[in-house]
Each structure stands twice: as C-alpha cells, then as structure tokens.
Amino acid sequence: DTGVSQDPRHKITKRGQNVTFRCDPISEHNRLYWYRQTLGQGPEFLTYFQNEAQLEKSRLLSDRFSAERPKGSFSTLEIQRTEQGDSAMYLCASSSGYGMGEKLFFGSGTQLSVL
Amino acid sequence: AQKVTQAQTEISVVEKEDVTLDCVYETRDTTYYLFWYKQPPSGELVFLIRRNSFDEQNEISGRYSWNFQKSTSSFNFTITASQVVDSAVYFCALSSNSGGSNYKLTFGKGTLLTVNP
C-alpha cells in the first residue's frame, strides 16, 4: 500500500489523558498536512510541514497540540490534557507540490473520542 | 477571507437519476484553485478534480461533469446516471493566496449523497 497511512484508526480516551497519532505520508512527498474534521463539517486546516519544518499552525491549534515531522518522513500529532471538544476525526494528507493548486492525498484518519 | 458554501446538506436519489451538487465560493484573489473531493464511509478523502481560476472550460469524466462559472462564483458537480457506489459525502474546496497561505484548502461543509437502489 503506497497511500497515506494513519495509526490508530480509532482512539478512545478519558478527558485529561494525552494521545498521540501517527501519519506516514506517501514516500518522497515533501509536504504534510494535518486537518481536523468534526461531524457534519468539512476538514479544517491545523498545521503544515515542508519537509521537517513546521511552517504554519492554525489558531485552531491550542498550546495543548504539538506536531512533529522528524527527518521529513512520518509525522506525529500529540494532544495533551485532552478535552471533550477535541473529539473529532484527525486527517493527515501529503503532497509533492510546491505551490497552490496541488493535489492532496489523504489518509483514512484517526477518530478520537474523548469521554 | 475565503469561503466555500455547499447549501445542500443531504441529497437522496434513486439509482440512475442525475444529480447536481452545488458549490459557491468567495475569494478576493484572481488566481485560485477549486477542488472536489469524495469521502466514502471509509473516511479517506479522494481527489476528483481540480480547476484553476483561468480555466472555465467545463469538464466531463465518465459519468462526472463539472460546471465552473466565475460570473456566479460557482463550481457545480453533476453525476449522470447515479449508482449506489456514488453514495458518499462530497466536498468542494478552495485554495488561493489570501493571507499568504496558498497551500491551505478551505472546505465546504459537504453534501451527503445517498443513492438508493
């Protein structure tokens, strides 16, 4: 499978716990994105990496959220002290382009439920 | 600021019917891209089409066709002779230079299409 893979597919946690998600982009894709999708809404941009550099974070991303992409390969998204409002689908996407209009390849997402 | 509006929340049709999904966008930029993505129950968004703001030619791909009209800021998507496998949530999205962030997609809320046998 050469697509974008995300792990785990589902995560149930209790409020206040920390969680970490992993995304493996398509090999050699230089750009990696995290989006968040809540029920009945379209995906919303969270953050973006160009190789290993995190170039932008949305104001949606509170201080409890942190993302990394060591060596420009896979990426992790960590949420500390989870809140019920963090419950959502977290989508990862990658692309090989350098400008506007590039096609994104999405993973199947990690569904987070905070109890 | 940029915005994408998909006014149809849900559409239900019977197999073989034609169906059109509406998309209206807002942007101050003259250069932008429009997209349609399909999200089946598995959750993975699948790219369907990309259009740049300078290309108003309509496009047909099999049973799918897209109508881009800058005059009305619309980029509508038509499925001809719908099939049960077309059942999914369809998202329209916009990418432009607004705010210096030309790599972000702004998505609409999506239209849930259900095709009944």
Which DSSP category does B103 fall into? T
CA distance B103 to chain A (A): 5
- Whole-number average pLDDT of chain A: 92
pLDDT in tens, B1-44: 789 999 999 999 999 999 999 999 999 888 899 999 999 988 89
d(C-alpha A48, C-alpha A102), whole Å: 14
Q: Which one has a higher pLDDT value, A96 or A86?
A: A86
Chain B 19-78, residues with CB within 8 Å of chain A CB atoms: 31-33, 37, 42-47, 50, 52
pLDDT in tens, B41-99: 888 999 999 998 988 888 888 999 999 999 999 999 999 999 999 999 999 999 987 75
Closest-CA residue of A relative to B4 is A42
Alpha carbon A60 to its chain centroid, in Å, reads: 13
pLDDT in tens, A28-85: 899 999 999 999 999 999 999 999 999 888 887 889 999 999 988 999 999 999 999 9
